[in-house]
Structure 1
Amino acid sequence: MNSLTPILSTVTASFLGSFVEVVEAFTIVLAVGVTRSWRPALTGAALALAVLAALVLIFGPLLALIPIEILQFVVGVLLILFGMRWLRKAILRSLGIIALHDEEAAFSKETAVLQAQSTDRRADYLAGLAAFKAVLLEGVEVVFIVIAVGGAHGLTAYAGLGALAAFVLVMLIGLLVHRPLASVPENTLKFVVGLMLTSFGIFWTGEGIGAHWPGEDLALIAIFAIVSLASYAIIRSLRGSGSNPTAKAAQ
C-alpha cells in the first residue's frame, strides 16, 4: 500500500493539473482553427510542443545531478507556493470575489480578436502565434507540474503518464464535440489540484529538511486531509463573515 500511495497520488495530481491547463490551451487552438483555419492552429500548436519537448530533454537530465534532499526541499517549497496560488484563486472564485473562469467566454473573446485581425495580411501568422503562445504557456505549467510532482521521488515517468492521459482525453473530447469544454468543473479541479500540490509540497519540504513522517508515504493522505479541512474552514469562515464583494474579472 505504501509503495502505491506516491504513485497513485503522483499520477492523479499530474492528470488533474494537466487537464486544466490542456483545456485552456485547447480553447485557444480551437478558436484559431474555427475562426481562421486549422493550418495555422495546428502549426502553432506543433511548434510549441516541439519547444516544450526540447526544454524537457535539456533540463530533465539535470535533475539527476542535484542531491535528492536539495531537490525535495526546493521542489517542495515551489509546490507549496504554486499549490497555494491555485487554492487562493479557487477559494476566491467559490466566494464570488473573482469571476469563475468561463471557457465559452474565453473562446468568444479569442474569436473576436481573430476576426478583427482577418483583414490584416499577417492574419495567418497572428493566428498561428496565438495558438503557439497558448500551447507554450499552458504547456510550461504542465511541464512544471510533471517535474515537480514526479521529480522528487523519481516518479517523473508516472507523472508524465498522467499528463499524457489528460492530453489524450481532452483531444478526444475536443475532436468529438468541436467546441470549448465549458462543462468541465474547472474551479473544482483547480481547488483539488491546489490541495494536492500544497500537500506534496509540505511532504517533500519536510523530507528535504530531514523530517521522518509517521507512516512514511501514507502521511501524504493525512496532510491532504488537514490541508482540505483548513481550506474548507477558511471558506466557511469567509462566507460566515457576510463578505460578498461583486465578482471581478477572472485573473
Structure 2
Amino acid sequence: MSPLALVVTVFLACAVEAVEAVTIVLAAGTGRHWPSALKGAGAALIGLVVVVGALGPAVAQIPLGALRSVVGSLLLVFGLQWLRKAVLRASGWKAQRDETTAFAAGVAAAREAPQARRGAVRDWYAFTVAFKGVALEGLEVAFIVVTFGGSQHDVPLAAAAAAAAVAVVAGVGLAVRAPLARVPENTLKFAVGTLLTSFGLFWAAEGARVSWPGSDAALLVLVPAVALLALAYTRILRLAAVRAADPPPATAPKEVHR
C-alpha cells in the first residue's frame, strides 16, 4: 500500500467514527455544560493516544506474515460489519442513522439528568457522556490506526491521518455547534467498508502465502469487485424491500358454477 492510500483509507474510516463522537460531545455540551463535556472528550483522547502509543510498537515487532494474517482477518470482519450495515441501510432494510435525531435525543436526555459535581469537573454527567462517546468511537479509530499502520510499519503516518480526520470533523462540529447531519455517513461507511473488506481479503490471503497477480496492483481489481458485489446485493435487497412493502393484491375466489 502506498503512503497516499494509507492516509486516505485511515482518514475516511476515522472521519466516520469522528462524526458519531462529535455528535455525542455536542449533545452533552449543548444540553449541559461545555467545559465539562470538553474535559471528558479530552480525557478520552489522551487515553486513546496512550493505547496507540503502547500497541503500535508492539504490533510492529510481529513477523510480517503472521501480522498480515491477523490484521487481514480482523479487517475482514470489521469491514464486512460496516459494509453489511451500509447495504442494509441503502436498501431500506435498516433505518438510516439521523445525526439530527441523535443530537436532539442526547440533548433531551442531558437536560433531564440531575446535576452532580466531582472535583474539578462541574458537571459529571456531561463529562462521563462525552468521555464514553469519544472512548467507544475512539477505540475503533485506534484499531484502524494500529492495524493499518502496523501492517505497513508506519504507525505515525496512520496516526497523523486519524488525527487530521478527527480535527477536521471536530472543528466543523464545534464551529457550527450543530450535528453534522449533511455528512453522507452511509456513503462513507459503504466506501470505508469496501476498502477494509478488500484490504482484509488481500492481507489475509498474503498471510496464508497466496501470491496475488501483480502484487499490490491486484487491489485495483479487488476493491472495485467488492464494491460491485455490495452494490448488487443492495439492488437485490432494495427490490425485495419494495415487494415486501407492496404485496400483490389478493385475487378474488373464482365463482363455482353448478
Question: TM above 0.5, one fold?
Answer: yes
Q: How does 1:113-128 map to 2 (within 5 A)?
A: 113-117=109-113, 119-121=114-116, 124-128=123-127
Q: Offset of 1:152 from its aligned partner? A: 1.2
Partner of 2:232 in structure 1?
A: 233
Q: 1:244–1:82: structure 2 CA closer, same or farther, 3 Å change rule?
A: farther
Q: Offset of 1:227 from its aligned partner? A: 0.5
What are the superposed Cα offsets for residues 156-202 of structure 1, whole Å, 9 maximum, x if unpaired? 23322221221121122123211111000000000000000001101
Whichever residue aligns with residue 208 of structure 1, its letter is G
Report which of the two structures shows the higher radius of gyration computed on alpha carbons.
2
Distance 1:151 1:66 in 2: 9
SS at match of 2:213: coil
Give structure 1 regions of 4+ aligned residues with deviation exceeding 3 angstroms.
Answer: 119-123, 240-246
Q: Offset of 1:243 from its aligned partner? A: 4.8
Q: Offset of 1:206 from its aligned partner? A: 1.3
Q: Is the 2:17–2:137 contact (alpha carbons within 8 Å) kept by the matching residues of 1?
A: yes
Q: Is the 2:116–2:125 contact (alpha carbons within 8 Å) kept by the matching residues of 1?
A: no
Partner of 2:70 in structure 1?
A: 74
What are the superposed Cα offsets for residues 20-56 of structure 1, whole Å, 9 maximum, x if unpaired? 1111111111111112111111110111111111112
Partner of 1:111 in structure 2?
A: 107
RMSD over aligned Cα, in angstroms? 1.7
TM-score, length basis structure 1: 0.91
* Residue of structure 1 aligned with 2:13, choices 17, 21, 34: 17
Distance 1:183 1:63 in 2: 37
Q: 1:245–1:147: structure 2 CA closer, same or farther, 3 Å change rule?
A: farther
Q: Offset of 1:242 from its aligned partner? A: 4.9
SS at match of 1:82: helix
Whichever residue aligns with residue 116 of structure 2, its letter is R
Structure 2: segments with no counterpart, 5+ residues: 246-258
Whichever residue aligns with residue 30 of structure 1, its letter is L
Whichever residue aligns with residue 121 of structure 1, its letter is A
Distance 2:43 2:231 in 1: 41
Matched pairs, number: 241
Q: 1:220–1:124: structure 2 CA closer, same or farther, 3 Å change rule?
A: same
Partner of 2:249 in structure 1?
A: none
Whichever residue aligns with residue 97 of structure 1, its letter is W
Q: Is the 2:31–2:110 contact (alpha carbons within 8 Å) kept by the matching residues of 1?
A: yes
Partner of 1:188 in structure 2?
A: 187
- Bigger mean CA deviation after superposition, 77-86 or 155-164: 155-164
Partner of 1:84 in structure 2?
A: 80
Structure 1: segments with no counterpart, 5+ residues: 247-251
Q: 1:95–1:244: structure 2 CA closer, same or farther, 3 Å change rule?
A: farther
Distance 2:241 2:175 in 1: 43
